Amino acid sequence: MVIKKLTLANFRNYEAETFRFTDGLNVLTGRNAQGKTNCAEAVFYLCTGASLRIRHDRQLIRRGETCARISAEASTRFGSVALEAAIFENKRELYLNGNRLARAADFVGNMNSVFFSPGELRLIQDGPDERRRFLNLSISQTSREYCTALARYQRILDQRNNLLKERDVSLVLETLPVWDEQLALFAARIVRHRRRYLKQLSPLASDAHAYLTDGAEKLSLDMDGRYPDEEGEIAEKLLKEFSAARERDLRLGFTSVGPHRDDIKILIDGADARGYASQGQARTAALSLKLAETEIFRTLAGEAPVLILDDVMSELDLPRRKKLLDRVRDIQCILTCTHAERVLYGAECNKIRIREGKII
């Protein structure tokens, strides 16, 4: 897949700008706080329907404006595709090839991307939320079924949590079984997709890590083994867990079990990287996961995604920079940096210089 053109209007610090990308290495260069990351963020948003930097879309709108627009044209193995997102204060409109979409699930995954920045250290060092978010964004790009199940699960979960805050306990206990059955149905679907994805991700991440470290360390993923194999059996197990947790959930006022609480362990030489890894080890582990994610997209989507490398080259030592550039040689890459000549070592690229939200 190759993104040919990206147009931004009143997005972040951009008033109106159009980027034209080539099918190899594209380098966005300029001083800090000029808009390089904003451009990278726009590409990721069109692929996933979400931003990695903010929780509320209205923060994407340029100050003083009421609407931001992002659009892109790309060539995929299925032909040309055009995506657009119009972001307002309290809503958004999503378009595919000029047609407005009713569901976000129909928008996500028409273009695929993998995003890596220094902030991705959170994937290794922070709590389970970051690792679940990584799985959700990645799997949703290649599985519409997962994206839909995730949205349905979240809506039912919100309704169950609201019910748990009701003061009429008898009403809560009478109503909870209905919500639990629906919740277990979509929870099982989420678990099944995650397990299948992680089985593919683990060996690929291990191989990428061995490549980046010259085999000096071993990366592995420890998946939750408490779930059975079949989706129906997973649903039965989760239904029992929801039922067993009802009294505790009533005391807490929220749902304490389910895939929204699950985690995966990322291990380096058998030790939990979250508490053990140095900054350098965590950075290499996170990059290994992202390179593995790239290979999964290549397999599941039938073509490589766009790899977005946001200000990461300065964080890597010279050998890893060269290894990374060599590894992504055959895919479209959008890389941001302040000084291209210091990190590219003469690599052929399409260089785009940015100053104050404008191409110069």
Predicted confidence (pLDDT) per residue in 141-198, tens digit: 999 999 999 999 999 999 999 999 998 999 999 999 999 999 999 999 999 999 999 9
Query: What's the pLDDT score for residue 37?
Result: 96
Query: What's the pLDDT score for residue 318?
Result: 87
What is the C-alpha separation between 359 and 25, in angstroms, rounded? Answer: 17
Percent of the chain with pLDDT over 90: 87
Residues 200-223: what's their mean pLDDT?
A: 96
pLDDT tier, 99 (very low <50, low <70, confident <90, very high otherwise): very high
pLDDT tier, 75 (very low <50, low <70, confident <90, very high otherwise): very high
For 144, the token pair is 């519409």
pLDDT tier, 131 (very low <50, low <70, confident <90, very high otherwise): very high
Are the beta carbons of 112 and 142 closer than 8 angstroms? Answer: yes
> Considering the domain boundaries, does residue 1 fall inside one?
yes
What is the C-alpha separation between 255 and 246, in angstroms, rounded? Answer: 8
Strand partners, 306: 113
> Considering the domain boundaries, does residue 293 fall inside one?
no
Query: What's the pLDDT score for residue 261?
Result: 96
Query: What's the pLDDT score for residue 346?
Result: 74
Predicted confidence (pLDDT) per residue in 215-271, tens digit: 999 999 998 788 998 999 999 999 999 999 999 999 999 999 999 999 999 999 999
> Considering the domain boundaries, does residue 123 fall inside one?
no
Q: Which long-range CB contacts under 8 A does 104-107 form with residues at least 24 apart?
A: 104/49, 104/147, 104/151, 105/140, 105/144, 105/147, 105/148, 105/151, 106/144, 107/49, 107/83
What is the C-alpha separation between 171 and 91, in angstroms, rounded? Answer: 34
Residues 67-91: what's their mean pLDDT?
A: 96
Query: What's the pLDDT score for residue 335?
Result: 96
Query: What's the pLDDT score for residue 64?
Result: 96
> Considering the domain boundaries, does residue 75 fall inside one?
yes
Q: What is the extent of the structural domain holding 81?
A: 1-112+302-360
Per 3-state DSSP, the chain is made up of helix, strand and coil in percentages (nearest 5) of 50, 25, 30
pLDDT tier, 20 (very low <50, low <70, confident <90, very high otherwise): very high
> Considering the domain boundaries, does residue 108 fall inside one?
yes
pLDDT tier, 6 (very low <50, low <70, confident <90, very high otherwise): very high
What is the C-alpha separation between 48 and 147, in angstroms, rounded? Answer: 10
Please, what is the average pLDDT of the chain? 95
Query: What's the pLDDT score for residue 343?
Result: 76
> Considering the domain boundaries, does residue 235 fall inside one?
no
Q: How many helices (H) and strands (E) does the chain have?
A: 11, 15
> Considering the domain boundaries, does residue 3 fall inside one?
yes
Total structural domains within the chain: 1
Query: What's the pLDDT score for residue 345?
Result: 72
> Considering the domain boundaries, does residue 261 fall inside one?
no
Query: What's the pLDDT score for residue 225?
Result: 81
pLDDT tier, 342 (very low <50, low <70, confident <90, very high otherwise): confident
CATH number assigned to the domain comprising residue 29: 3.40.50.300
pLDDT tier, 294 (very low <50, low <70, confident <90, very high otherwise): very high
Query: What's the pLDDT score for residue 52?
Result: 85
What is the C-alpha separation between 196 and 113, in angstroms, rounded? Answer: 20
